[in-house]
A and B are shown apart, each in its own frame.
Chain A
Amino acid sequence: MDVNKLVRMANQIAANLDDGKNPQRAIDGTVDHLKRFWTPAMRRQIVEHYRQGSNGEEVIELSFIAAQAVARLAEEQQQATA
């Protein structure tokens, strides 16, 4: 899938779950949302993207909250495969 689209979606989720006061809760909410509504393949792809960066193509940046959430997914995936 177009990774830019996934990034845009993740950023949107993060922004809407963020009340501006409690970033931890926004991150937890985003992680939970990605698990409940995204397919494993979509999650893998955004994690991959997070790990490897842009490969030189033009990409949108993950927002702070979204990046933290994806980092958490990355960790969990690592643990699952370890």
Chain B
Amino acid sequence: MSAAFQPYRRARDFGTPKRESQRQVTLTIDSVTVTVPEGTTVLRAAAEAGINIPKLCATDSLEPFGSCRLCLVEIQGAKGLPASCTTEVREGMVVTTQSKRLADVRRNVMELYISDHPLDCLTCPTNGDCELQDMAGAVGLREVRYGYDGANHFGAKKDESNPYFTFDPTKCIVCSRCVRACEEIQGTFALTIDGRGFASKVAASQNQPFLDSECVSCGACVQACPTATLTEKSLIELGQPEHYVVTTCAYCGVGCSFRAEMKGEQVVKMVPNKDGHANHGHSCVKGRFAFGYATHKDRITKPMIRNSIHEPWKEVSWEEAISFTAKKFKEIQAKYGRHAIGGITSSRCTNEETYLVQKLVRAAFGNNNVDTCARVCHSPTGYGLKTTLGESAGTQAFDSVMKADVIMVIGANPPDAHPVFASQLKRRVRQGAKLIVVDPRATDLVRSPHIEADYHLALRPGTNVAVLNAMAHVIISEGLEDKEFIAARCERDAYEDWRAFILEERNSPEAVEKESGVPAETIRGAARLYASAPNAAIYYGLGVSEHSQGSTAVMAIANLAMCTGNLGREGVGVNPLRGQNNVQGSCDMGSFPHELPGYRHVSDPNVRKLFEQDWNVTIDPEPGLRIPNMFDAAIAGTFKGLYVQGEDVAQSDPDLNHVAKALSSLECMVVQDLFLNETAKFAHVFLPGSSFLEKNGTFTNAERRISRVRKVMKPLAGYEDWEVTQLLANAMGYPMSYSHPREIMEEIARLTPTFAGVSYEKLDELGSIQWPCNEKAPQGTPTMHVEEFVRGKGLFRVTPYVPTDERTNSKYPLLLTTGRILSQYNVGAQTRRTANVAWHSEDVLEIHPHDAEQRGIQTGDWVGLKSRAGETVLRALVTERVMPGVVYTTFHHPESGANVVTTDNSDWATNCPEYKVTAVQAYKVEKLSDWQQRFQSFTEQQLEFLRKARAGSEEAVG
């Protein structure tokens, strides 16, 4: 099914959604006997039996609507001609789908539609893939008796404002599939049918152009439209695809499955896969449309080297670049010792690539100095969940949210950061689930169309632990805990200790109110709601982990779930929402300096032995350097060489002045990436990377789901990323000889018990697999900790609230917190190279009207932002989304330098940086900061060095 190349065809459409029911109903359709679950429509039952009833307004991603009257059928004993899309099956029903009478009615319906439809099929972009065209064929339309001169909409104007799709109202049949898609699937409610009867038309927001409307460009309406009215611009430009390949989005931790619809090696469009287990046919603007970066002219496709970062680059062959690197690394080790080099893996790379980089470090470098960018986002999740539950991963599948009665979202902004999951969550809330939001900002989940949080705990940044403890205090002191679950499933002594601790007065809502700013009654209400629900689920994000108490907060969340028995079944659980696509996978693959793949500590001799025998090396039993330690060691002069695959530490890490100083101290820095990113500006070797379209591998999303990434085009620079790591290992004297990532996965499965049952064959067969997948769970594990916790008994950990050192004072009276937005991705290196900039061309500073007025700041003004770490300048956006005393920005654009301001404070257990709390001052300025001016000239110089390399190679060639 999902194996490599498939000839292009539209995904099968069953007309109405699948229904689940214990009861089966049997009926006869055109003398075929069909058995389907109760609640299924006649239209769908027929489709499942291979009988295609004509239809236009129905599609299986949307609830039936019954407006087009094309799907009429005859039902024995029923009056008239019922619409099959809105008629549910009944036992013994006898249905006829084709007859002279039906044919006449259907032809009439089509005639009416076509009389108001331009007949330019031959030049229409969806020619050959249009449902209206198909239906005209299916009903045998031969003439249009009404003629084309009657009233029509042929003069209506196209809306081309959205960078990715056009809206051509002349082709609209007002089936309202787009309107319903925006409501039911996406949950944005941007579209309406405006006017009545003949005058009715589709309108975005208040009859605005799409780009200016509330539309978030998810593409659901484009997908649902049966005509060429809503069409991808790429399709208009390139024509119909001829084959497709199923692959996985490389942006966020939802890990949507896509059909890359291709023309040769060119992507025509990325279409969300209906069979995708994480997304069920939905997507967001990034995965759906923002793939143009992969072929952007800024891609670097030739290896480059230089001796100093103050010199121009020189383009060289792969052999030269690799041997240059190996020589430097060996020299450094000879001079400064084995521990003077290391590597950084990326959550943007595949599991196989990440696995190989950590193997390179442990086996070829001979130390454990390997870390991953998850250090700066979710390392506290690993620590906290491993400690309490026994496994460093979320407990549920995304679909589990559809069984939750209360949903608590803490420090996460799913509509922006995990859009497809957010759509699902909002759907559940519209069905009646209660919602608690814990966030300093009034995010879209607090209030947006048809969504209103029952509780918003607008806490002061940095006080998560205090508030979570207070919630637990309420639960225990009011006797709302699940005593049975605690007694059966958790360690008793630890629970008793925790219980005594949590009942202390310092953890009461009244005591916490002052520190957190959340009224005690709100905390009590939220705690009662969470504890009393049959199923309550927690979803949390970087607003939990990126704090000096990040690990404590994760444990406090686990404590809350354990004490209310909300673990081990569907509808409940503790769910970290991972930022980047493969955060989960990169952690699983042993990217942390203290852990071998599968979260096993390097000090464990049995685990080491397993790897030592397989790899034929000795593994260092001591933990290596974490990313912030690497920087400190570089400045101290003991760490000199670094291999960075797919990561941009010089933009994404905090306290950039410090990072820049560290990177400039290195003697050999190797960057493997698509673009000359910020980090590469400090590099001595640049190894061109390959995009997700150019390689094979797997990603693991936030629900532990392993999905295939499939190559749809040749790597622009000749090698897939794993091949480059392999070349480097060989040059360093450690032999590697994989011929395909499938072999790397075989090795991972061989050495990692939770992956024992995973293979490419099984992934092809099942589509995706949630680990653990082994003998006990050959099909994978959607819900974890069902009978018992992975560690046996759940462990309550005492979670004292230790306030951050980062406090406001008269010099720095505001708290800065950082985040992300929908259309941009992380450091933005990819999304900034797509038309997504239409929505976010620069990072802005959100500031409350009260604070703005005090400082004479207005929206659009340049504002200086200063902390004890540094200073930068951004444009202001005055808004009540942030509370007084708090300012907010994103870090998608390097020149805005949000991370110049963030400090080197970090989580106590994992050194995950405290991005979410920085004490700052803001003031009106006229020009860019000194840092920005230096940044600009440094960037210009580095780009000049790149131009020289390229010019050099052209000369050489020409």
CA distance A37 to B623 in the complex (A): 6
Query: Which of B173-181, B567-575, B629-637, B850-858 forms part of the interface with chain A?
Result: B629-637
| A1 interface residue per 8 A CB criterion | yes
| A49 interface residue per 8 A CB criterion | no
Given contacts A5-B632, A36-B623, A39-B625, contact A15 B501 (CB under 8 A): no
| B798 interface residue per 8 A CB criterion | yes
Taking CB atoms, residues of chain B closer than 8 Å to A39 are 339, 593, 622-625, 629
Of the candidates B603, B626, B904, B909, which one forms a contact with A33 in the assembled complex, judged by CB atoms under 8 Å apart? Answer: B909
The answer to whether B632 and A37 have CB atoms under 8 Å apart is: no
The answer to whether B802 and A15 have CB atoms under 8 Å apart is: yes
The answer to whether A20 and B908 have CB atoms under 8 Å apart is: no
| B552 interface residue per 8 A CB criterion | yes
Smallest CB separation, B173 vs chain A (Å)? 62
Taking CB atoms, residues of chain A closer than 8 Å to B549 are 16
| B263 interface residue per 8 A CB criterion | no
Bitwise, A20-34 to B at CB < 8 A (1) or not (0) is 110000000000010
Q: Which residue of B lies closest to A19 (CB)?
A: B798
The answer to whether B603 and A36 have CB atoms under 8 Å apart is: yes
| A38 interface residue per 8 A CB criterion | yes
| A41 interface residue per 8 A CB criterion | yes
| B800 interface residue per 8 A CB criterion | yes
The answer to whether B594 and A12 have CB atoms under 8 Å apart is: no
Taking CB atoms, residues of chain B closer than 8 Å to A42 are 629
Of the candidates A13, A38, A40, which one forms a contact with B908 in the assembled complex, judged by CB atoms under 8 Å apart? Answer: A13
| A59 interface residue per 8 A CB criterion | no
| B911 interface residue per 8 A CB criterion | yes
Smallest CB separation, A1 vs chain B (Å)? 4
CA distance A35 to B601 in the complex (A): 11
Taking CB atoms, residues of chain A closer than 8 Å to B623 are 36-39
Give the contacts of B792-817 with A (CB-CB under 8 A). Answer: 798, 800, 802, 805
- Size of the B side of the interface (Cβ < 8 Å), in residues, is 32
| B515 interface residue per 8 A CB criterion | no
Smallest CB separation, A30 vs chain B (Å)? 10
Taking CB atoms, residues of chain B closer than 8 Å to A35 are 603
Smallest CB separation, A50 vs chain B (Å)? 18
Tell me what chain B mostly uses at the interface: helix, strand, loop, or mixed.
loop
Given contacts A36-B601, A39-B629, A41-B339, contact A19 B622 (CB under 8 A): no
Bitwise, A50-66 to B at CB < 8 A (1) or not (0) is 00000000000000000
Of the candidates B497, B638, B909, which one forms a contact with A16 in the assembled complex, judged by CB atoms under 8 Å apart? Answer: B909
Sorting the interface of chain A by its residue count into under 10, 10 to 19, 20 to 34 or 35 or more gives 20 to 34
Taking CB atoms, residues of chain B closer than 8 Å to A8 are 805
| B548 interface residue per 8 A CB criterion | yes
CA distance A46 to B802 in the complex (A): 23
Taking CB atoms, residues of chain B closer than 8 Å to A37 are 594, 623, 626, 909-910
Smallest CB separation, B482 vs chain A (Å)? 23
Smallest CB separation, B368 vs chain A (Å)? 8
Taking CB atoms, residues of chain B closer than 8 Å to A18 are 800
Bitwise, B870-909 to A at CB < 8 A (1) or not (0) is 0000000000000000000000000000000000101011
Taking CB atoms, residues of chain B closer than 8 Å to A33 are 909
Taking CB atoms, residues of chain B closer than 8 Å to A38 are 623
Given contacts A16-B549, A16-B908, A19-B501, contact A40 B622 (CB under 8 A): yes
Bitwise, B596-634 to A at CB < 8 A (1) or not (0) is 000001010000000000000000001111100100110
Q: Which residue of B lies closest to A16 (CB)?
A: B908
Q: Which residue of A lies closest to B592 (CB)?
A: A37
Taking CB atoms, residues of chain B closer than 8 Å to A19 are 497, 501, 798, 800
Given contacts A1-B629, A16-B800, A38-B623, contact A9 B911 (CB under 8 A): yes
Smallest CB separation, A22 vs chain B (Å)? 8
CA distance A6 to B552 in the complex (A): 20
Smallest CB separation, A36 vs chain B (Å)? 6
CA distance A15 to B907 in the complex (A): 12
Q: Which residue of B lies closest to A6 (CB)?
A: B632
Smallest CB separation, B672 vs chain A (Å)? 25
The answer to whether A12 and B548 have CB atoms under 8 Å apart is: yes
CA distance A15 to B497 in the complex (A): 17
Taking CB atoms, residues of chain A closer than 8 Å to B805 are 8
Taking CB atoms, residues of chain A closer than 8 Å to B624 are 39
Taking CB atoms, residues of chain B closer than 8 Å to A16 are 549, 551-552, 800, 802, 908-909
Smallest CB separation, B332 vs chain A (Å)? 16
CA distance A56 to B638 in the complex (A): 23
Q: Which residue of A lies closest to B601 (CB)?
A: A36
Q: Which residue of A lies closest to B369 (CB)?
A: A39
Q: Which residue of B lies closest to A22 (CB)?
A: B497
Smallest CB separation, A13 vs chain B (Å)? 5
Smallest CB separation, B867 vs chain A (Å)? 17
The answer to whether B800 and A1 have CB atoms under 8 Å apart is: no
Q: Which residue of A lies closest to B593 (CB)?
A: A39
The answer to whether B632 and A2 have CB atoms under 8 Å apart is: yes
Of the candidates A2, A12, A36, which one forms a contact with B802 in the assembled complex, judged by CB atoms under 8 Å apart? Answer: A12
CA distance A75 to B622 in the complex (A): 18
Smallest CB separation, A25 vs chain B (Å)? 9
CA distance A18 to B908 in the complex (A): 12
Taking CB atoms, residues of chain A closer than 8 Å to B497 are 19
CA distance A4 to B665 in the complex (A): 20
Q: Which of A2, A15, A39, A40 lies at the interface centre, i.e. has the most chain B CB atoms within 10 A of its CB?
A: A39
Smallest CB separation, B896 vs chain A (Å)? 27
Smallest CB separation, B389 vs chain A (Å)? 18
Taking CB atoms, residues of chain B closer than 8 Å to A12 are 548, 802, 908
Q: Which residue of B lies closest to A12 (CB)?
A: B908
Smallest CB separation, B365 vs chain A (Å)? 14
Taking CB atoms, residues of chain B closer than 8 Å to A41 are 339, 633, 638
Smallest CB separation, B872 vs chain A (Å)? 23
CA distance A18 to B635 in the complex (A): 32
The answer to whether B636 and A36 have CB atoms under 8 Å apart is: no
CA distance A9 to B623 in the complex (A): 16
Bitwise, B907-926 to A at CB < 8 A (1) or not (0) is 01111000000000000000
Taking CB atoms, residues of chain B closer than 8 Å to A13 are 908-909
Taking CB atoms, residues of chain A closer than 8 Å to B622 are 39-40
Q: Which of A13, A16, A18, A33 lies at the interface centre, i.e. has the most chain B CB atoms within 10 A of its CB?
A: A16
Taking CB atoms, residues of chain B closer than 8 Å to A1 are 629, 632-633, 635-636, 638
CA distance A2 to B629 in the complex (A): 10
Taking CB atoms, residues of chain A closer than 8 Å to B501 are 19, 21
Give the contacts of B765-812 with A (CB-CB under 8 A). Answer: 798, 800, 802, 805
CA distance A18 to B638 in the complex (A): 33
Taking CB atoms, residues of chain A closer than 8 Å to B909 are 13, 16, 33, 37
Smallest CB separation, B191 vs chain A (Å)? 49
CA distance A36 to B600 in the complex (A): 11
Give the contacts of B439-455 with A (CB-CB under 8 A). Answer: none
CA distance A33 to B797 in the complex (A): 15
Q: Which residue of A lies closest to B368 (CB)?
A: A39
CA distance A62 to B363 in the complex (A): 37
Smallest CB separation, A67 vs chain B (Å)? 17
The answer to whether A20 and B800 have CB atoms under 8 Å apart is: yes
Of the candidates B339, B800, B908, which one forms a contact with A9 in the assembled complex, judged by CB atoms under 8 Å apart? Answer: B908
CA distance A35 to B604 in the complex (A): 13
Smallest CB separation, B594 vs chain A (Å)? 6
Taking CB atoms, residues of chain A closer than 8 Å to B632 are 1-2, 5
Smallest CB separation, A37 vs chain B (Å)? 6
Q: Which residue of B lies closest to A2 (CB)?
A: B632
Q: Which residue of A lies closest to B911 (CB)?
A: A9
Closest 5 CB pairs of A and B: A12-B908, A19-B798, A1-B632, A16-B908, A15-B802
* Residues in chain B within 8 A of chain A (CB atoms): 339, 497, 501, 548-549, 551-552, 593-594, 601, 603, 622-626, 629, 632-633, 635-636, 638, 798, 800, 802, 805, 904, 906, 908-911
Contacts A1-B633, A38-B623, A39-B593 aside, 8 further interface pairs with beta carbons under 8 A come to: A9-B906, A12-B548, A12-B908, A15-B802, A15-B908, A16-B908, A19-B800, A36-B601
Q: List 10 A-B contacts (CB under 8 A).
A: A1-B629, A1-B633, A1-B636, A15-B802, A15-B908, A36-B594, A36-B623, A40-B622, A41-B633, A42-B629
